[in-house]
């Protein structure tokens, strides 16, 4: 039995793209909600489109355990640098939950590197602003990361 088999998979996530919110559910009951930013380029799964995919997913991997808040990541590894708020770059900060598509239409999500992650553009949370990923405030992604297990189901609708 692996650690993933022992995880509490009663947790799931639902991203509401219309409301720009992420809901944490336990056995289908709402535990907590956070504001998010999905893609400013719209919704879809086309390669290179920078759109947020829709459908059913699972958390393929978790990265950033123990990293400092606002830590900058490249290729899912901390660079040792700490971001400052703002700027034009769509930074991947603090924690990463890497999504894997479970449906034919979104099977390419893993190779598109679609994550739930922290951002240097916290002032844009609550409206579409990302390059395809689901952005959270850095403190919020730390809180989510601590409770949701690898393998948990995610729905983006």
Using one digit for the tens of pLDDT, what is the confidence trace for 100-109? 999 999 999 9
Q: How far apart are CA 76 and CA 46, in angstroms?
A: 22
Q: CB–CB of 18/108 below 8 Å? A: no
Angle at 24 (CA atoms; ends 76, 53), nearest 5 degrees? 55
Q: Measure the CA–CA gap between 21 and 34, rounded to whole angstroms.
A: 6
- Residues 35-71: tens digit of each pLDDT: 999 999 999 999 999 999 999 999 999 999 999 999 9
Predicted pLDDT at 89: 82
| Section 120-144 average pLDDT | 97
Q: What is the largest CA-CA distance in the chain?
A: 45
State the average pLDDT over residues 26-41: 96
Strands 115-118 and 134-136: parallel
- pLDDT of res. 87: 78
Task: Report how far residue 153's alpha carbon sits from residue 60's, in angstroms, rounded to the nearest whole number.
Answer: 10
Residues in CB range of 16: below 8 A, 6 or more apart? 22, 23, 157
Query: For residue 2, what pLDDT is reported?
Result: 37
Q: Is the pLDDT of residue 1 over 80?
A: no
pTM confidence score: 0.92
């Amino acid at each position: 039995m692996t650690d993933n088999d022992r995880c509490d998979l009663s947790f799931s996530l639902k991203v509401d793209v219309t409301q720009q919110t992420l809901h944490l559910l336990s056995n289908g009951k709402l535990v907590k909600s956070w504001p998010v930013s999905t893609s400013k380029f719209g919704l879809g799964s086309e390669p290179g489109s920078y759109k947020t995919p829709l459908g059913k997913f699972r958390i393929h991997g978790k990265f950033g355990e123990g990293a400092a808040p606002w830590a900058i990541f490249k290729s899912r590894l901390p660079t040792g640098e700490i971001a400052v708020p703002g700027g034009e770059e769509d930074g991947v900060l603090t924690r990463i939950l890497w999504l894997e598509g479970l449906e034919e239409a979104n099977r390419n999500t893993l190779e598109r590197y679609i994550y739930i992650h922290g951002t240097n553009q916290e002032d844009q949370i609550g409206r579409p602003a990302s390059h395809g990923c689901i952005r959270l405030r850095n403190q919020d992604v730390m809180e989510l990361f601590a409770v949701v297990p690898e393998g948990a189901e995610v729905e983006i609708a």
